[in-house]
Amino acid sequence: MPASLVVWILTALVIVGVLTQRWWEPRLEARGVPVRRWPWHWWLVGYPETTARIFLTWRRLAHLNGLAVSLTPDRRVIGRNLVVQGTALRPKPPRLSWPVPTKTGLTLRVHLHPGQTPGPYYAAARAMEHAWRVHNVRVTSPRRGQVIVQVTAMDPLKGEVPEARSPAHELLAADVGRVEDGDPWLIDLRRIPHWLITGATQSGKSSLLASLVLALAPQPVALVGVDCKGGMELGLFGGRLSALAVDRTQAVGLLSGVVDEIQARMGVCRALGKRSVWELPEDARPVPLVVIVDELAELYLTDGSRESRDEAEQCGTLLLRIAQLGAALGVHLVIAGQRVGSDIGPRVTALRAQLGGRIAHRAHDEASAEMTLGDINPDAVVTAQQITEDEQGVAVVAMGGRWMRARSRLVTTAGAAEIARTDPPVNPFLTQPDPVAFEKKGVAA
pLDDT tens readout for residues 253-308: 999 999 999 999 999 999 989 999 999 988 889 999 999 999 898 898 887 788 88
Looking at residue 302, its pLDDT comes to: 82
Rounded to whole angstroms, the Cα distance separating 54 from 50 reads 6
Looking at residue 183, its pLDDT comes to: 80
Cβ pair 407, 161 in contact under 8 A: yes
Looking at residue 165, its pLDDT comes to: 55
Domain boundaries, the chain: 3-152, 173-440
Q: Does pLDDT of 28 surpass 50?
A: no
| Segment 327-365, tens digit of pLDDT | 999 999 999 998 888 778 778 889 999 999 999 999 888
Mean pLDDT value of segment 68-94? 63
Nearest residue to 373 (alpha-carbon basis) of 343, 346, 340, 411 = 340
Rounded to whole angstroms, the Cα distance separating 411 from 207 reads 6
* Number of other CB atoms surrounding residue 277 within 10 Å: 20
Residues making up the chain, counted from first to last = 445
- Asked which of 11-25, 62-76, 86-100, 257-271 is least confident by mean pLDDT, the reply is 11-25
- Asked which of 11-25, 226-240, 296-310, 331-345 is least confident by mean pLDDT, the reply is 11-25
Q: Answer with the residue of higher pLDDT: 7 or 122.
A: 122
Q: What are phi and psi of 2, to 5 degrees?
A: -60, 150
Looking at residue 438, its pLDDT comes to: 46
- Asked which of 88-92, 168-172, 392-396 is least confident by mean pLDDT, the reply is 88-92
Looking at residue 329, its pLDDT comes to: 94
User: pLDDT > 70: what percent of the chain?
Assistant: 80
Looking at residue 321, its pLDDT comes to: 95
User: pLDDT > 90: what percent of the chain?
Assistant: 32
Looking at residue 437, its pLDDT comes to: 44
> Could you tell me what percentage of the chain is helix, strand and coil, using 3-state DSSP and rounding each to the nearest 5?
40, 20, 40
213 pLDDT band (50/70/90 cuts)? Answer: very high
Mean pLDDT value of segment 392-405? 85
Q: Is 246 helix (H, G, I), strand (E, B) or coil?
A: coil
Q: Answer with the residue of higher pLDDT: 88 or 182.
A: 182
Instruction: Supply angle C-alpha 181, 185, 187, rounded to 5.
Output: 145
Q: Answer with the residue of higher pLDDT: 264 or 419.
A: 264
Nearest residue to 296 (alpha-carbon basis) of 226, 209, 200, 201 = 226
Rounded to whole angstroms, the Cα distance separating 130 from 297 reads 41
| Segment 175-204, tens digit of pLDDT | 999 888 778 899 999 999 999 999 998 898
Rounded to whole angstroms, the Cα distance separating 243 from 430 reads 14
Rounded to whole angstroms, the Cα distance separating 256 from 226 reads 12
Q: Does pLDDT of 138 surpass 90?
A: no
Rounded to whole angstroms, the Cα distance separating 32 from 34 reads 6
Mean pLDDT value of segment 8-16? 65
List Cα–Cα distances, 250 to 13, 227, 335, 338, 347, in angstroms: 65, 10, 17, 22, 20
Q: Does pLDDT of 407 surpass 80?
A: yes
Instruction: Supply angle C-alpha 246, 210, 166, rounded to 5.
Output: 145
Q: Does pLDDT of 35 surpass 50?
A: no
434 pLDDT band (50/70/90 cuts)? Answer: very low
Mean pLDDT value of segment 23-40? 49
| 173-440 placed in CATH 3.30.70.1230 | no
Cβ pair 383, 405 in contact under 8 A: yes
Q: Does pLDDT of 38 surpass 60?
A: no
Q: Is 378 helix (H, G, I), strand (E, B) or coil?
A: helix
User: What mean pLDDT value characterizes the chain?
Assistant: 82
Looking at residue 167, its pLDDT comes to: 55
Q: The pTM is what?
A: 0.77
Looking at residue 92, its pLDDT comes to: 84
Q: Is 223 helix (H, G, I), strand (E, B) or coil?
A: strand
